[in-house]
């Protein structure tokens, strides 16, 4: 009987954690890999405490640079900034993978994802091109270390499913797009799916 109560407490605790901390908060993002800056070193797209999420309207999250700290990708962590003022900035996505706009690092200032001579583009889930920071120079996405380049599960989809947009669409599931389609919490016993708002009775 005591073991039974212990399992119920564990299951209820897990449900509470999943309810208050959705999978998007637990996940580091839908992007992996590193960009390279000649003056700043490796730029981590999937750090332990940060991470980048690509959506059809923009990027959110943080990049980590060992030598200069964090770069924030959107002022309010909602993809799709207007970039019209110093308080409404962010890296935008036109829905086809063409990035623009600005990220900001407290130690390095502004980073432009569509400078005059280049643009960061996502094609087939892979980043290419250069971003520019006045204080740090060029940041190259498609550097020579092909196995560690930045990549994302987001794809433009051409009107179809778009992983990273916050909506679980047809063609997406928890395996192919965990950001949009979080897995349901299942109890260990009897395969019962526990959903928020449903009282678990043993």
* 42 inside domain: yes
For the chain, percent helix, then strand, then coil, each to nearest 5?
15, 30, 55
Instruction: Write out the residue range of the structural domain in which residue 10 sits.
Output: 2-22+182-194
pLDDT digits (tens, 9 = 90+) for 17-63: 333 333 333 334 799 999 999 999 999 999 988 899 999 999 999 99
pLDDT digits (tens, 9 = 90+) for 124-160: 999 999 999 999 999 999 999 988 999 999 988 644 4
Looking at the fold, whether 9 and 86 belong to one and the same domain comes out as no
Looking at the fold, whether 86 and 47 belong to one and the same domain comes out as yes
- 151-176 mean pLDDT: 68
DSSP 58: B
Looking at the fold, whether 15 and 57 belong to one and the same domain comes out as no
Looking at the fold, whether 146 and 55 belong to one and the same domain comes out as yes
- How many structural domains are present in the chain? 2
Q: How far apart are CA 94 and CA 47, in angstroms?
A: 25
* 32 inside domain: yes
- 174-189 mean pLDDT: 58
Looking at the fold, whether 12 and 111 belong to one and the same domain comes out as no
- pTM flag (> 0.85): no
Confidence band, pLDDT 50/70/90 cuts, at residue 14? very low
């Amino acid at each position: 009987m005591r073991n039974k109560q212990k399992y119920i407490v564990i299951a209820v605790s897990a449900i509470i954690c999943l309810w208050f901390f959705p999978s998007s908060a637990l996940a580091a993002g839908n992007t992996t890999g590193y960009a390279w800056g000649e003056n700043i070193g490796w730029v981590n797209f999937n750090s332990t405490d940060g991470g980048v999420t690509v959506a059809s309207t923009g990027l959110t999250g943080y990049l980590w640079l060992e030598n200069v700290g964090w770069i924030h990708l959107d002022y309010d962590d909602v993809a799709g900034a207007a970039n019209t003022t110093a308080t409404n900035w962010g890296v935008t996505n036109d829905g086809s993978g063409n990035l623009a706009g600005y990220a900001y690092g407290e130690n390095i200032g502004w980073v432009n994802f569509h400078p005059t001579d280049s643009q960061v583009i996502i094609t087939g889930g892979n980043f290419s091109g250069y971003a520019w920071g006045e204080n740090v120079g060029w940041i190259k996405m498609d550097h020579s270390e092909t196995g560690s380049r930045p990549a994302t599960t987001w794809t433009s989809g051409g009107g179809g499913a778009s992983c990273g947009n916050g909506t679980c669409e047809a063609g997406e599931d928890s395996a192919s797009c965990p950001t949009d389609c979080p897995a349901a919490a299942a109890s260990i016993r009897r395969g019962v799916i526990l959903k928020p708002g449903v009282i678990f009775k043993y």
